[in-house]
Amino acid sequence: MRELKTKSCEEIMTTLYKPTVFAVEGLISQGLYILAGSPKAGKSWLALELCLAISKGEKLLERPTRQGTALYFCLEDSWQRIQSRLYELTDEPSEKLHFALKADTISDGLCEQIVKFKSEHDDLRLVVIDTLQMVRSETDNSYGSDYAELIPLKSLAEQLDISIVLVHHLRKAMDSDPFNMISGSTGLNGCVDGMLVLKKDKRCGGQAVLYATGRDIEDSELSLARKGARWLLTDEREDKPPDTFVFAVHDMMSEKEKLSATATELSAELENRFGMHLPSNMVSKKLMQHWQELNGYGIRFQIKRSHGKRWLELTYDRAGDSSDGRLLYPESCCPAGTRSVEKPLDTLSEQGDGSAVGDGKGREGDGSGSEYVLINGKRVPIVRMSFEDIVLRSATRLRQKI
């Protein structure tokens, strides 16, 4: 009998785990995924677009990607067909995208092949296997058999911290739930970490819907249209407001330097200072989720229990702050009178680009026709940008410094 290993609820909730890493933001995380569609529906084209986007660090369906090496097993294609498709999608080759026409089966060498490739390409981010049927050895389609056959790939994705996408087919029988149309037993659906189903409106049409579900992603339906060889996003999605929690904690701690509070007290503090409405359990969760980003801003925290209460203890070290102590929380989100503006912020612009926070008023009669603010006695023009652009640019600079 194997020893039973357990962790207490307290231990799990106070451990700083490595954040989930996405190959495609909000769509494909590290783990095992299925991309399914009817024959000739365009799923292989979408898979190739995915590989190109990852290898070049470009967006896919308007979503950011995490750049790295991609390996595409084109097990039903030829070099000539791959060449033709690549020229349909790009005229700039990527040194980080590799192809293979043959592979061993899952039970007889495929995992070892991927491990060897990873040893030669340390930044391997994505493996696409097109199609799953070409690497299967089991003929039994029972739940247990299907589940057991995919377990090695699921474990491998976790071991190597990569995303593995299996291109698969849909069965002909219609179902109100598109994920029930994936060929095979529900053992496949139960084993993988996420599923993507590409369904065309008409056999010869250029419209389709991409359904997505998974353990680390939100369920979504993306309306797509085929333009040439590419799939483009056509639906107008409501953009979620950027998460400014880290910026708020940074600005608060840059003044306090040390803080010991319960989650309820910290929640109230964030609401009073920044108008941020977060229940206490979400405050703790966000601290655990964003600990690496907070570290980059010189903030460390730990959770301690004392007198029957759980205390969040935060400290701030200016020397470890990549923002050099500047305020980060955008003025546009802050309720009037709740934030000091003694330190003019320019979180997202490099020195000298003219972006600054000020009163928004230019000097009358100067003929400049532009708004400016005085910083250290110098007139600095004000550059307007959207709140989303501000947050995205700040996040980019933080990643580069980390």
| CATH number (domain holding residue 93) | 3.40.50.300
Q: Which of 233, 262, 280 is the last residue of a domain?
A: 233
The parent domain of residue 270 ranges over 245-348+385-401
Strand partners, 182: 170
Which residue type is seen at 208? A
Rounded to whole angstroms, the maximal C-alpha distance in the chain is 86
Q: Closest Cα partner for 153 from 127, 179, 187, 134?
A: 127
Residue 70 has a CB neighbour count (10 Å cut-off) of 30
Within a domain: residue 301? yes
Shared domain for 186 and 64, answered yes or no, is: yes
Within a domain: residue 368? no
Within a domain: residue 38? yes
Within a domain: residue 130? yes
Q: Are 246 and 287 in contact (CB under 8 A)?
A: no
User: What pLDDT sits at residue 161?
Assistant: 95
User: What pLDDT sits at residue 104?
Assistant: 97
Shared domain for 194 and 283, answered yes or no, is: no
Shared domain for 209 and 299, answered yes or no, is: no
Shared domain for 315 and 224, answered yes or no, is: no
Its pTM surpasses 0.85: no
Domains: count for the chain: 2
Shared domain for 314 and 221, answered yes or no, is: no
User: What pLDDT sits at residue 224?
Assistant: 93
Shared domain for 157 and 295, answered yes or no, is: no
User: What pLDDT sits at residue 202?
Assistant: 72
Shared domain for 111 and 171, answered yes or no, is: yes
Q: Which of 211, 233, 255 is the last residue of a domain?
A: 233
Residues in CB range of 260: below 8 A, 6 or more apart = 311, 312, 313, 314
Shared domain for 171 and 293, answered yes or no, is: no
Q: Are 58 and 52 in contact (CB under 8 A)?
A: yes
Within a domain: residue 5? no
Q: Distance of CA 173 to CAs 38, 170, 182, 202, 313, Å?
A: 11, 9, 10, 16, 56
Residues in CB range of 177: below 8 A, 6 or more apart = none
Q: Are 198 and 156 in contact (CB under 8 A)?
A: no
Residue 247 has a CB neighbour count (10 Å cut-off) of 25
Shared domain for 160 and 283, answered yes or no, is: no
Report the C-alpha gap between 62 and 210 in whole angstroms: 14
Shared domain for 249 and 397, answered yes or no, is: yes
Q: Which of 233, 265, 293 is the last residue of a domain?
A: 233
329: CATH: 1.10.10
Within a domain: residue 298? yes
Within a domain: residue 34? yes
Shared domain for 284 and 304, answered yes or no, is: yes
Within a domain: residue 358? no
Kindly report the backbone phi and psi dihedral angles of residue 177, in degrees, each rounded to the nearest multiple of 5, phi listed first: -100, 110
Residues in CB range of 385: below 8 A, 6 or more apart = 348, 355
Shared domain for 167 and 298, answered yes or no, is: no
Q: Are 327 and 343 in contact (CB under 8 A)?
A: yes
| Dihedral sign for Cα atoms in the order 196, 395, 276, 312 | positive
The H or E element spanning position 223 is strand 220-227
DSSP 234-300: -S-PPPPPP--HHHHHHHHHHHHSEEEE-HHHHHHHHHHHH-----HHHHHHHHHHTHHHHHHEEEE
pLDDT digit string (tens) for the chain, length 402 residues: 889 999 999 888 888 888 889 999 999 999 999 999 988 889 999 999 999 999 999 999 999 999 999 999 999 999 999 999 999 999 999 999 999 999 999 999 999 999 999 999 999 999 999 999 999 987 777 899 999 999 999 999 999 999 999 999 998 778 888 999 999 888 999 999 999 999 987 766 788 999 999 999 999 999 999 988 899 999 755 556 678 899 999 999 988 889 999 999 999 999 998 888 889 889 988 998 888 889 999 999 888 888 888 899 999 998 899 988 888 888 656 664 455 444 433 333 333 443 434 444 444 344 444 555 555 555 555 556 666 666 666 666 655 555
